[in-house]
Copies of this chain bind each other. A is one copy, B any other.
Amino acid sequence: MGETRERVTRADVAKLAGVSETIVSYVINNNRYVAKEKRQRVEEAVRLLNYRPNNVARALKGKRSNQIIFIADHITNEYFSSIVSEMDRYAYDAGYLISLCSNRNTPEFISQVISRQFDGIIVSSASFPTEYVEQFSQAGIPVVVFRRWRHQRAVERVAYLGTGLYTGAREAVRHLINRGCRNVVYIDRISAKGHVSPPDDMRFSGFVDEMEANGFAVGPESVVCGCRSQEEVTEEVKRRLRTGSRVDGIFGRNDMLACIAMTAAGQIGIQVPEQLRVIGFDDSSISRLITPGLSTVGMKKEKIAKAAIDMLTQMIAGSQPENQDFETVLIERESTAVPAGF
- Which of A71-79, A198-206, A235-243 contacts the other chain? A71-79
Enumerate chain B residues within 8 angstroms of A291, measured Cβ to Cβ: 263, 266, 291
CA distance A89 to B74 in the complex (A): 12
Q: Does residue A290 face the partner (Cβ distance < 8 Å to B)?
A: yes
Distance in angstroms between the alpha carbons of A256 and B59 in the assembled complex: 43
Which residue on B lies nearest to A141, using beta carbons?
A: B4
Please give, as numbers and ranges, the residues of chain B lying within 8 Å of A2 by CB-CB distance. 137-138, 155-156
Nearest-Cβ distance from residue A290 to partner chain B, whole angstroms: 6
List, in ascending order, chain B residues with CB within 8 A of A85's CB. Answer: 74-76, 102
Interface residues of A in 276-332 (CB under 8 A from B): 285-286, 288-291
* Residues of the B chain whose Cβ atoms lie less than 8 Å from the Cβ of A209: none
Contact of A288 among B89, B230, B266, B285 (CB under 8 A): B230
Q: How distant is the Cα of A111 from the Cα of B285 in the complex, in angstroms?
A: 35
Nearest CB of B to A342, in Å = 23
A100 adjacent to B84 (CB under 8 Å): yes
* C-alpha gap A32/B229 in the complex (Å): 51
Q: A101, B98: Cβ atoms under 8 Å? A: yes
Contact call A97/B102, Cβ cutoff below 8 A:
no
Contact A115 B289 (CB under 8 A): no
Name A101's contact: one of B88, B102, B156, B263 (CB within 8 Å). B88
> Chain B contacts of A266 at CB under 8 A?
291
Contact present for A100 and B100 (CB under 8 Å) = yes
Q: A80: which B residues are within 8 A, CB to CB?
A: 81
* A-B residue pairs in contact (CB < 8 Å), sample of 30: A2-B155, A3-B156, A5-B140, A7-B140, A52-B111, A52-B114, A54-B60, A54-B115, A55-B115, A56-B59, A56-B117, A57-B60, A60-B60, A67-B99, A67-B116, A75-B84, A75-B85, A76-B82, A77-B81, A85-B102, A98-B101, A99-B99, A230-B289, A256-B289, A259-B289, A259-B290, A260-B289, A285-B286, A286-B286, A286-B289
The interface on chain A, measured as residues whose beta carbon lies within 8 A of the other chain's beta carbons, has a size of 60
Contact string against B for A residues 32-62, beta-carbon threshold 8 Å, 1 for contact and 0 otherwise: 0000000000000000000011111101100
- Residues on B with C-beta less than 8 A from A195 are none
The answer to the question of A139 belonging to the interface, with a C-beta cut-off of 8 Å to chain B, is: yes
A78 to B81, CA, bound (A): 8
A112 close to chain B: CB less than 8 A: yes
A92 at the binding interface (Cβ < 8 Å): yes
Q: Complex Cα distance A67/B40, Å?
A: 35
Q: How far is the CB of A170 from chain B (nearest CB, A)?
A: 26
Asked if B116 contacts A55 (CB within 8 A), the reply is: yes
Contact B99–A97 (Cβ < 8 Å): yes
- Given A82-B76, A289-B256, A88 and B116 contact (CB-CB distance below 8 Å): no
* Nearest CB of B to A39, in Å: 20
- What is the CA–CA distance of A115 and B57 in the complex, to the nearest angstrom? 10
A335: CB under 8 A from chain B?
A: no
Q: Which 9 A-B pairs have the closest CB atoms?
A: A52-B115, A81-B81, A259-B289, A55-B115, A55-B116, A76-B85, A99-B99, A4-B140, A56-B59
What distance in Å separates the Cβ of A263 from its nearest Cβ neighbour in chain B? Answer: 6
